[in-house]
Amino acid sequence: MAKDGTRSTQGRGKLYDSVIETIGDTPVIRVNNLAPEGVEVYVKAEAFNPAASVKDRLAVSIIEAAERDGSLKPGQTVVEATSGNTGIGLAMVCAAKGYPLVVTMADSFSIERRRLMRMLGAKVVLTPRAQKGFGMYQKAVELAEANGWFLAHQFETEANADIHEMTTAREIMADFDGHRLDYVVTGYGTGGTVTGLGRVLKKERPETKIVLSEPANAALVGSGTAQERDDKGQPAVSHPAFEPHPIQGWTPDFIPLVLQEAIDNGLYDDLIPVPGPEGIAWAKKLAAKEGIFTGVSGGSTFAIAMKLAETAEPGTVILAMLPDTGERYMTTPLFEDIPEDMSEEEEAISKSTPGYQMG
């Protein structure tokens, strides 16, 4: 912004060969109206990725790692189980690179996610919600084995945390270079974000505390109960502490192997659960008071950031990861009290002048 308050742009100074090249370098944005006096709260808005979520990073990392090691052949079908964001990211990457994609997804996840993946050329195979994340996961395994497809393995692959170590963590390091950073708050779906961040920040910014969150009614990590796995590290059973929760994209009904690294190696400093309704409420506040539009997962990390901010000493700096955009939640509880028709107040505004009124 110029000194006189006007705005201008100069472009990015480069031309991109593919949409894939635009992944990453998402902005860190200060929260001005909701943050308590004397505390700096920031959010890292992953909706600025081209397919609008943090999982774009994971998607391109999985595909390109498999291309390098030869496990993904030209034209081979990719298959993966997903609650939506990884599938959408994979659909974008596969469309750009020319791979067919089949996604398995429990029918409990939002309808718009299915439609977005299909718009991007993917096939979406639904599994019964009663079989939870474990069911959609096993369906992907079955399809890969039966058809010779490449299974993306987002919950186990080293390419997951690696991309967050190489990009997400490095972006945070650069953005806060010379600036205080006391807390980074994140949830987990696969665990890639917290593991990748932990690998870097624990070594290079040890004063920064990493706070992990999970749904209060599905506290798998907090339960202390170990995940049963097969000899490949894949979940053998659904975790007994799981209950259905409204934070889509967070906490499947098993502890992913990628997250297990963070648990085993102490890559986070605190674990604070969040009730789903609080995540929904804070997502709405963030949109209405800051103009920052995120989903229930982003609202949930922000809820924990605000909880920390309430008791933080002056000068504290907090960063919350916002995994995606609120548009991915139109058919979820996030929007259930947002009306389609005019409210009484809106009708009164309409009637305040004589023309162009609805009948």
Report how far apart the first and last C-alpha atoms of the chain are (Å, whole number): 44
Pairwise CA distance, residues 94 & 83, whole Å: 18
Quote the pLDDT of residue 2.
63
Would you say 53 and 300 are in contact if contact means Cβ atoms under 8 Å apart?
A: no
Prediction pTM value: 0.94
Strands (E), 222-355: 270-271, 317-322
Residue-wise over 4-26: b if at least 16 C-beta within 10 A, else e?
eeeeeeeeeeeeeeeebeebbeb
pLDDT of the chain, 359 residues: tens digit per residue = 666 778 888 899 999 999 999 999 999 999 999 999 999 999 999 999 999 999 999 999 999 999 999 999 999 999 999 888 999 999 999 999 999 999 999 998 889 999 999 999 999 999 999 998 889 999 999 999 999 999 999 999 999 999 999 999 999 999 999 999 999 999 999 999 999 999 999 999 999 999 999 999 999 999 999 999 999 898 999 999 999 999 998 999 999 999 999 999 999 999 999 999 999 999 999 999 999 999 999 999 999 999 999 999 999 999 999 999 999 999 999 999 999 999 999 999 999 999 998 87
Look up the CATH architecture of domain 55-151. Answer: 3-Layer(aba) Sandwich (3.40)
Q: Do domains 19-50+169-335 and 55-151 have the same CATH topology?
A: yes
H or E segment and range at residue 325 = none
Compute the distance between CA of residue 85 and CA of residue 160 in angstroms, rounded to an integer. 14
Domain edges within the chain? 19-50+169-335, 55-151
Q: Which of 55, 132, 139, 307 is catalytic?
A: 55
3-state class of 190 per DSSP? coil
- Annotated catalytic residue, options 238, 297, 300, 307: 297
Annotated active-site residue 55? The verdict is: yes
> Domain 19-50+169-335 carries which CATH code?
3.40.50.1100
- Vertex 299, ends 244 and 45: CA angle to 5°? 125
